[in-house]
Structure 1
Amino acid sequence: MITIDCQSHVFPAPYAELLTRNRGWVRVEKTSGSYRIQYGALQSFLLDLDSYDPQKKIRDMDSTGIDISILSINIPGPEALDQDIAFEAAQLCNDAVHEICSRHKERFQGLAVLPLQLSPAEYLAEYRRAIHSLHLRGVVLYSHIAGKPVDHPDLEPLYTQAEQDGVPLVIHPTVPAWGEVVKDYSMIPMFGLMVDHSIAMLRLILGGVLERHPNLLIVHPHCGGVIPYLMPRIEEQTEVKKRGRDHIRKPPGEYYRKVYLDLVSPSPLPMEYVLRFHPENRLLFGSDHPWVSIQLFKEMVDRLPVKGDTKSRILGENAKALFRIDAG
């Protein structure tokens, strides 16, 4: 039984250094051996590069029976940076992920990041390089693009190209553009991130992106955020009160059932709910390493009340097909 971790992060040291040149919303201060990432007055994170070391990641994978990890750049992504360094940042990140994957071909696959705040011609040029030349397996879609929502017309060329190529777009939360209301009491990491990526997912549905692109492959992380629990209310609004239906022709849940969910959650209860709520062929194992212990998530998934075939699909077979991984 192959096990694939669909949410695992890296942070290349040259990218951390490049971030110190940013002068916009995201500011990075380099101190003795570490970096502090500041999102305006909303949130700061201390970046520990040692925790992202690929060799450490492999050791953690080996200790828990993870065969392959799909690597992505942690926040902030290039889409949050000043326009004059965004393209350089995206290329640096994609080259770094490709290099790690090339050194450990049996253990890692990678996702691309794109300078989506630039013109479609510019970000699609990097898309083609990352996907067709570097052979990365998908694209990270952060929950907003420097405040621009994910259903903005500027992103339509990305959705057209990704649908045509069968390339998955993997939603990832970032510090909310509306973070002022949740900046206190550490509510951004504990709550705001989950709500923000749920808003992004709902905008892809209600904004008509999935109506216009029915074969677009989307991964929604963290057990779907709040969407699975609020879907009855969402559909009561759209189907009974006829609100928010300008760009859709089906109930929102019909679009959502085609979306992949990863099971990253610190509790088995959301995992068990999602198992009842969502098709089993659309569920993926993930850990959010190195933020959280891989072992914690692997043990919770191993204890889920599912049959062997279902477990094998969740642990790896679904991801193997989605990301077109030739392994196992």
Structure 2
Amino acid sequence: MPKLVDVHAHCLPRAYRQAAHDAGLTSFDGGFPIPSWSIEAALDFMDSHRITAQVLSVTSPPVHVLAGADGAAALAARTNEEIAEIVTLHPDRFTATAVLPLPDVTATLKTIGHCFDALGMCGATLFTHYQGHYLGDPLYEPVFAALNDRHALILLHPTSPVCAEQTRLGRPAPVIEFPLDTTRAVVNLLYTGTLQRYPNLRIVVPHAGAAVPALAWRIAHFADALPLPGKQDTRTATAVMAQLHALYYDVALSANQHALAALRTVADPARILFGSDYPFAPESVVQDNITGLASSSHLTEGAREAIGHRNALTLLPALRHR
């Protein structure tokens, strides 16, 4: 690949890491190792893999899990300020999305204003659910309305479902539960009409859409055929497929023949983006992902370059000078 823009890259700021330590966590989401992260290591990683810029975000667990409902807003504020400092130090290499203190809607609306207006962040990260309330829940209507007014970039990211202890089969949640929880959130956004109500949102679904491409036909036709609870009457198979086509998708941990073949059936090729999942994905896995993208028989050379960087520059014009 000639060059890459990485829209799915994580950082672990000091405030976030300290909160995890204070919460007694030695791993995340049921046993996933907490990697080390530093600005210097991230830059070395990027240079090693011809990544010109990264969109930084904080991964699971969300801040309310680490700091509790009462401490989530303060932790989000400290984390956002630290991330903004990183971007200020290296504006040619990094941009970032806001950490939101959901499920506190009032604090989240204040955070959106500060992060977009004062800190200059390019978007926000939304987790698949907060305390079991999935995106599309009426609780979050004010948040979606505020983000829609700003034509915001939204990085969707999975977290452990509330049933994880019973369903993850003794393995860390990222192995199985993360892609399944992504799929749950996308289905709820579709069936509740949230995507239709807020068409200005630019939502990036991670990991090549998780299970969504494989289940797209089923999801669409159930929307058409069944009187599903919480589903608006305007949901049709055609409308659902059109909304899936309008979403963005990153290929973190997913640039392989099987996932790309499924993704191409639902995604607009101009809305597929490169992602590394660094530092949670080991460098060898990232390199395999890059190699898979570069060698995919499902993509032309032009499509590979578009996924590698051109689509991201269209989505985030501010990156073009970097």
TM-score, length-normalised on structure 1? 0.88
- One-letter identity of the residue aligned with 1:262: D
Offset of residue 175 of structure 1: 1.1
1:47 aligns with 2:34: yes
Q: 1:261 aligns with which of 246, 249, 269?
A: 249
What residue is the counterpart of 1:91 in the other structure?
A: 77
By how many angstroms is 1:71 displaced? 0.6
Matched, 1:299 2:291: yes
Change in Cα spacing, 1:296 to 1:54, as seen in structure 2 (3 Å) is farther
Partners of 1:248 and 1:228 lie apart in 2 by 22
Range that drifts further, 191-200 or 207-216 = 207-216
Q: Output the CA distance in 2 between the equivalents of 1:230 and 1:240.
A: 15
Pairing 1:4–2:5 present:
yes
The within-5 A match list for 1:112-261 is 112-118=98-104, 120-186=105-171, 188-241=173-226, 243=228, 245-246=231-232, 248-251=234-237, 252-261=240-249
Shift of 1:309: 2.9
How far off its partner does 1:205 sit? 0.8
**Consecutive unaligned residues in structure 1, runs of 5 or more:** 22-26, 30-35
Task: Tell me whether 1:284 sits opposite 2:280 in the alignment.
Answer: no
What's the counterpart of residue 107 of structure 1?
93
Q: Is the 8 A contact 2:3 2:309 kept in 1?
A: yes
Worse-matched range after superposition: 199-208 or 288-297: 288-297
1:320 corresponds, among 301, 313, 316, to: 313
CA contact (8 A) 1:222 1:265 kept: yes
Change (3 A) 1:248 1:219: farther
Identity of aligned residues (%): 24
What's the CA shift string for 1:274-314, capped at 9, x where partnerless? 12431101111101011222322221111123233322221
Secondary structure of residue in 2 paired with 1:325: helix
Task: Give the distance between the partners of 2:172 and 2:60, measured in 1 at CA.
Answer: 17
CA deviations on 1:172-209 (whole Å, 9 max, x unpaired) are 01111121322333162211111011101111111111
Query: Within 2, Cα distance between the matches of 1:78 and 1:185?
Result: 24
Asked if the contact 1:211–1:248 (Cα under 8 Å) also holds between the matched residues in 2, the reply is no
Gaps of 5+ in 2: none
Paired residue type of 1:322: L
1:76 is matched with: 61
Q: 1:280 to 1:207 in 2, by over 3 A?
A: same
Secondary structure of the residue that 2:24 maps to in structure 1? strand
Structure 1 residues 62 and 20 mapped into 2: Cα distance closer, same or farther (>3 Å)? closer
- Judge which range, 226-235 or 181-190, deviates more: 181-190
Instruction: Judge conservation of contact 2:28–2:34 (CA < 8 Å) in 1.
Output: no
**C-alpha distance in 2 between matches for 1:248 and 1:168:** 25
Residue 242 of structure 1 deviates from its aligned partner by 5.1
Instruction: Give the corresponding residue for 2:302.
Output: 309
After the TM superposition, which of the residue ranges 67-76 and 317-326 deviates more from structure 2?
A: 317-326
Residues 61-98 of structure 1, C-alpha deviations (whole Å, 9 max, x = no match) = 11111110111112212243412110111111111111
Aligned residues: 311
Q: Is the CA contact (8 Å cut-off) linking 2:55 and 2:94 kept in structure 1?
A: yes
Q: SS of the residue aligned with 1:67? A: strand
CA contact (8 A) 1:6 1:69 kept: yes
Q: Is the 8 A contact 2:223 2:236 kept in 1?
A: no
SS of the equivalent of 1:287 reads coil
Q: Distance in 2 between matches of 1:89 and 1:151?
A: 25
Instruction: Give the 3-state SS of the residue equivalent to 2:47 in structure 1.
Output: helix
Superposed displacement of residue 20, structure 1: 4.2
Alignment map for 1:59-70 (pairs within 5 Å) = 59-70=44-55
- CA offsets, 1:98-141, max 9 Å, x none? 111111111111111111111x3321111111111111111110
The alignment yields a C-alpha RMSD, in angstroms, of 2.0
Which amino acid is 2:168 matched to?
Answer: K
Give the letter for the 1:323 counterpart: L
Query: Counterpart amino acid of 1:107?
Result: R
